[in-house]
Amino acid sequence: MKNKTLIYQLIFGAIAGLFIVITTFILYYKGHINSGDIDFTKFGTYGDFIGGLLGTILSIVAVILVYRTYISQKEELSMTRNLLKQQQFENTFFNMLKVHQDLKNNISFDTENLIFREKDMPKSMMGVNAPIKGVLVKGRSFFDLAKNDFEKLFNYFTGNNTNEVICDKVLKLHKQKNYNFLLEPKNLDNQEHKDKILFKYNIFFSNYANYLGDYFRNLYHILNFISINKKDLIDKSSNNKNEIIIKKFKQYSDIVQSQMNFSELFLVYYNSFKFKKLRALIKEFDFVENLHSSNLLDKYHIQFDDQGRIKND
């Protein structure tokens, strides 16, 4: 701002000086000023003319400079406010992210609480990496274990194998109603696929709510916080900046995603079938874009575009 004011002053000074030189030369040319004599009457009139003209010009320039100063200060104030708002957003965002990481790292899960406990599982479903009874699993490892438990639950179905009692809790819930979409083999439409996912995820979540509830709520609030600030900035900006703003805030959601492993993204994806608000945010930020169709419980699940893009073969 000060540099611009100085430039305006220099330009005005140069113009005023040039004007004085030219008019003085004209007076000299007309004979009102010469090396031996000066016509003070006309020269005085000339001085009054110059003073009045320059005074008017100076007043106009002063008004212009005051206006330019006001505009510059207004722009600087706006930039300062935007910078402070951006800093406030980032401080809140990274604090929320730290809370999220702490929630994840502080999870402590006893394998005795698995839906498919080792003592209940037929050998065909145990696998080489079956969890040992009564072991505490913490942090990221918990999500790998939970994902594995949900996969087993999803792959369990009613029908000819109902005599294989996998878990009393699962068997009881399955018997509450005749869910035809749980039978194998199946030809399911989109809604039946969603019904199956939601039914089995509800069983899974009821067992893991104490461990995953806070985690997913906090994740929702982080993404919602990013979304609200993005929309607020878009509302206050011109249309040609919308794409820049969208990309900018996508970077923040990518930071959140970058701190998750595939097991977390897997659970986030299937959790979105239960919670619509989280599903909308996942789609808005393409939050599960790093999942591949092979990471899903069924490749058919990639058909659900309301959960956002997922990589495919």
Q: Is residue 91 part of a domain?
A: no
Looking at the structure, do residues 42 and 149 belong to the same domain, yes or no?
Answer: no
Q: Do 69 and 181 sit in the same domain of this protein? A: no
Q: In this structure, are 293 and 243 located in the same domain?
A: yes
| pLDDT at residue number 217 | 94
pLDDT of residue 162: 40
Phi, psi values for residue 290, rounded to 5°: -85, -5
Final residue in a domain of this structure, among 83, 98, 121: 83
Do 183 and 272 belong to one domain? yes
Do residue 134 and residue 57 come from a single domain? no
State the Cα–Cα distance between residues 13 and 21, nearest whole angstrom: 12
Give the C-alpha separation, 302 to 294, whole Å: 10
- Tokens for 289, please give them: 């874009």
The reported pLDDT for the residue numbered 258 is 92
Residue 213 and residue 149 in one domain: yes
* Residues 63 and 153 both lie in one domain: no
Q: Residue 265 domain-assigned?
A: yes
Task: Classify residue 92: in a domain, yes or no.
Answer: no
Residue 117: CB atoms within 10 A of its CB come to: 17
**In this structure, are residues 216 and 273 in contact, taking their beta carbons and an 8 Å threshold?**
no
- Is residue 99 assigned to a domain? no
Parent domain of 147: 106-307
pLDDT recorded at residue 115: 78
Which residues, 6+ apart, have CB-to-CB distance to 10 below 8 Å?
A: none
312 inside domain = no
Classified as helix, coil or strand, 23 is helix
Residue 58 forms part of a structural domain: yes
Whether cis (ω within 30° of 0) applies to the bond prior to 122 is no
pLDDT on residue 54: 64
Same domain, 117 and 35: no
Question: 20: which 2 tokens?
Answer: 């004085």
Residues 132 and 270 in one domain: yes
Domains in the chain, number? 2
Give yes or no: residues 268 and 212 share one domain.
yes
Radius of gyration from C-alpha coordinates of the chain? 37
| Shared-domain flag, residues 77 and 136 | no
Residue 88 inside a domain? The answer is no
* The predicted structure's pLDDT at residue 160: 41
pTM above 0.75, yes or no: no
Picking from 48, 83, 118, the residue at the C-terminal end of a domain is 83
pLDDT digits (tens, 9 = 90+) for 73-126: 777 776 777 778 888 999 999 999 999 999 999 999 988 888 776 554 444 444
pLDDT at 158: 45
Cα(140)–Cα(260) distance, rounded to whole angstroms?
A: 9
Mean pLDDT of the chain: 75
Using CA atoms, how far apart are residues 30 and 42, in angstroms rounded to an integer?
11
Among candidate residues 288, 285, 310, the one with its CA nearest the CA of residue 299: 310
Same-domain status, 159 and 48: no
Q: Is the pLDDT of residue 164 over 60?
A: no
Strand ranges (E), 81-228: 108-110, 136-138
Of 83, 116, 139, which residue sits at a domain end? Answer: 83
CB 266 within 8 A of CB 276: no
